[in-house]
A = this chain, B = another copy of it.
Amino acid sequence: MANLHDVAHELEKNLRESEEYQGLKEAYEAVMADDASKKMFDNFRETQIQLQQKQMQGEDISEEEVEKARKTVELVQQNEKISKLMEKEQHLNNVINDISRIITKPLEELYAE
C-alpha cells in the first residue's frame, strides 16, 4: 500500500494545484467575502441538506418544501458570485469524475469478465 498512498498524495497535490481547483477556491472565497451572498449561499446549502436527509430517510417531502427549494435555487442562480461558484463546482466535479473513472477501471474490467 505504501506506493499507492504516495501516488494518491501526488494526485491530491496535482488536484490542489489545478486550474479547476484554484478557480473553485477563488469563487468560494468571493462568496464568503460578501455578506449578502454568503447568507444566501448558506441558506441554499442548508435547504439542500435538509431535503437530502429527508429523501435518504424515505420521508415525504411536501409541495411547500419543494416550492421553497425551487425558490432558493432561483434566488442563488440570480446571484452572480454564487452562480460562478456553482459553475466552478461543476468543473471540478467533472475532473473528479474523470479521475474516478480512470482509477476504478480495473474493477470495471474484472466484473465485466
- Total copies of this chain within the assembly: 2
Inter-chain contact B8/A4, CB cutoff 8 Å: no
Rounded to whole angstroms, the CA-CA distance of A110 and B25 in the bound complex is 7
Query: How near does chain B come to A113, taking the closest CB pair, in angstroms?
Result: 7
Contact with B along A71-113 (1 / 0, CB 8 A): 0000000000000000000001001101110111111001101
Contact with B along A38-67 (1 / 0, CB 8 A): 000000000000000000001000000000
Inter-chain contact A106/B15, CB cutoff 8 Å: yes
Query: How near does chain B come to A30, taking the closest CB pair, in angstroms?
Result: 12
Partner of A107, one of B5, B7, B92, B105: B92
A11-B8, A106-B12 known; A18 vs B1 contact (CB < 8 Å): yes
Rounded to whole angstroms, the CA-CA distance of A99 and B16 in the bound complex is 15
Rounded to whole angstroms, the CA-CA distance of A32 and B32 in the bound complex is 54
Rounded to whole angstroms, the CA-CA distance of A12 and B4 in the bound complex is 9
Closest to A55 in B: B58
* A107 / chain B contacts, CB cutoff of 8 Å: 21, 92
Can you spell out 22 A-B residue pairs with CB atoms less than 8 angstroms apart? Answer: A1-B18, A1-B20, A4-B11, A4-B14, A4-B15, A4-B18, A4-B99, A7-B7, A7-B10, A7-B11, A8-B98, A8-B99, A12-B105, A15-B103, A15-B106, A16-B106, A24-B110, A25-B110, A28-B110, A28-B111, A99-B103, A100-B100
